Amino acid sequence: MARPVAYLDGARYLARWLVLGLLVGVVSGLAALAFYYVLKLFEGIFLVSLVGSSASGVWPSASRYYLLPASAALGGALASLVIYSLAPEAEGSGTDFVIRAYHELQGRIRWIVAPVKIVATALTIGSGGSGGAEGPAAQYSASLSSFISDILKLSPEDRKVMVAVGMGAGIGAIFKAPIGGALLAAEALRRGGFETRVVYPALVASAASYAVFGGFTGYMPLLGLYAGSLRPIDFAVYAALGLVAGLAAIAYVEALSLARRAFGAMRARYVRPIAGMAIAGSIALLAPQVVGEGFAWVRLAEAGEFGKFYSPVLPTVALLALLPVLKILATAATVGSGGSGGLFAPAIFIGAFIGVDMWFLIHYMAPHASLQITPLVVVGIAAMLAAATKTPLSAMAMAVEMIGGVQLLPAVMVAVAVSYVVSWNYAIFNAPADSAGDGGRRPQPDSPGAALAQDLRPATGSLRRAAHPTL
């Protein structure tokens, strides 16, 4: 008699989380759409109307280019006002707070975080800051999932699963990578581990959010379709690319950590994002490519259209060589100061242009080399993502979803393995349970988000910290 009972329990579990996963997915997809259109609105106000740039995201020039620092500072001021007046926990990238909510707050995230994160991130990116949409998507989707859990009176454990599922659904929609988003929901929660109970509902939710978001914005992969092939002789190049990406990930994490400490020393928290955004806008005077997510520039580089890259100061070769460094600095200034922006998209940009620089280096050393640029761009993205986030499975999945095929998967696996080992304990967001014992970086303990998380900690004793291996 045990087997029918077990079967019925399993069927109820699957049916229950199918419904909940679909609900979270639809809501997350709609929230991603809301963010998409709000971001377009603020880009039109700041970058197009004020700075005089192109609405396409690719700037051959801008009529009032010198206003970039002022535009970014103004956007930072408005975003700071929105965040610190309504939801201080919405500062920064957002992913850290979701992971903390899962492990320490029983999945509790206030509903007000969702609209605040959408508006603040759109202001930050749309006015000239350097950051991505995926970390904020994780937080506003998790916030809405927590709100749904409260309405449905779900248990604390179910609420935690809902929050994790929302995180994956938000990222899967924004990146148009539902498999990668679902895997990230399970992989990001435990450094060196995997939250298996999240996988099934996360797959359902990510598929639903991708369907909703893509229904309005299209289903074309982020980097288009790639139909090329691999050559075994090139695998040494991909391993070398993984090495460089691993070192770049360390620099990325250290720059963010340094920026958080530097801006954290400023007592006036409202001023921090303004100063950080002004710095990011000043860097954009050298290289406008660092503004926002930068995906349009990645696609141009993949197509080899380097003639469209513009800088009023730097020649094209120097610009391309310095873009990974400048993106790290601009993102550290934007997000490290408390500005609302994600860290995944800058990692994609950094990895892509590391691949571009390696392609130029190879062709300089061997002019007749037949190595294509697209594989190096995609492999660089995967290697950088895996090294910076410590989520190698989701990074590999996202990379192949970005080109709509698995042709480059073997090369991606080689580079990810190397970059993951090289970067070792460094990560752009918290390892959830025992990050104090490894190289992961914690949020500043005196930050508003950390203080609020302490206030919301359950009063019924401390939660047991799950053990996982130190990397």
Phi, psi of 406 (to 5 degrees): -105, 15
Q: How high is the pLDDT of residue 471?
A: 32
Are residue 267 and residue 131 in the same domain, yes or no?
no
Q: What DSSP element (H or E) covers 8?
A: helix 2-43
Are residue 202 and residue 278 in the same domain, yes or no?
no
Distance of CA 153 to the CA centre of its chain: 30
Domain total in the chain: 2
Phi, psi of 148 (to 5 degrees): -60, -40
Would you give the DSSP letter of residue 442? Answer: P
Q: How high is the pLDDT of residue 8?
A: 57
Are residue 59 and residue 148 in the same domain, yes or no?
yes
Are residue 98 and residue 201 in the same domain, yes or no?
yes
pTM of the model: 0.88
Residue 33 inside a domain? The answer is yes
Residue 463 inside a domain? The answer is no
Q: Which of 33, 71, 118 is nearest to 342 (CA)?
A: 118
Q: How high is the pLDDT of residue 440?
A: 39
Are residue 289 and residue 389 in the same domain, yes or no?
yes
Q: Give just the sign of the alpha carbon dihedral 59, 62, 67, 71.
A: negative
Q: Which three-class secondary structure state does DSSP give residue 441?
A: coil
Residue 67 inside a domain? The answer is yes
CA distance 118 to 138: 11
Residue 136 inside a domain? The answer is yes
**pLDDT one digit per residue (tens) for the chain, 471 residues:** 455 655 556 788 899 999 999 999 999 999 999 999 999 999 999 999 998 887 656 655 667 888 999 999 999 999 999 999 999 999 989 999 999 999 999 999 999 999 999 999 999 999 999 999 999 999 999 999 999 999 999 999 999 999 999 999 999 999 999 999 999 999 999 887 889 999 999 999 999 999 999 999 999 998 888 888 788 889 999 999 999 999 999 999 999 999 999 999 998 899 999 999 999 999 999 999 999 999 999 999 998 899 889 888 899 999 999 999 999 999 999 999 999 999 999 999 999 999 999 999 998 888 888 888 999 999 999 999 999 999 999 999 999 999 998 999 999 999 999 999 999 889 998 755 444 333 334 434 443 344 444 444 433 333 333 333 333
Which residue range forms the structural domain that includes residue 197? 2-220
Neighbours of 215 (CB within 10 A): 11
Q: Which of 300, 275, 141 is nearest to 208 (CA)?
A: 141
What tokens does 391 get? 């989520």
- Cα dihedral: 441, 447, 453, 456 (round 10): 160
User: How many Å is the Cα radius of gyration of the chain?
Assistant: 21
Q: How high is the pLDDT of residue 58?
A: 61
Domain end marker among 196, 220, 244: 220
Domain end marker among 175, 200, 220: 220
Please identify which residue in the block is written with the tokens 């603020």. 42
Are residue 374 and residue 408 in the same domain, yes or no?
yes
Neighbours of 305 (CB within 10 A): 12
Are residue 297 and residue 216 in the same domain, yes or no?
no
Are residue 332 and residue 251 in the same domain, yes or no?
yes
Q: What DSSP element (H or E) covers 209?
A: helix 199-217
Are residue 386 and residue 304 in the same domain, yes or no?
yes
Residue 465 inside a domain? The answer is no
Residue 440 inside a domain? The answer is no
Q: Which three-class secondary structure state does DSSP give residue 198?
A: helix
Please identify which residue in the block is written with the tokens 């919405």. 90
Are residue 140 and residue 66 in the same domain, yes or no?
yes
Domain end marker among 423, 444, 466: 423
Are residue 23 and residue 120 in the same domain, yes or no?
yes
For residue 231, give every residue at least 6 positions away whose Cβ sits within 8 Å of its Cβ, in sequence order, or none: none
Ramachandran category for residue 220: left, alpha or beta (phi over 0 → left; psi -120 to 50 → alpha): beta
Are residue 92 and residue 178 in the same domain, yes or no?
yes
Residue 429 inside a domain? The answer is no
CATH of the domain at 338: 1.10.3080.10
Residue 431 inside a domain? The answer is no
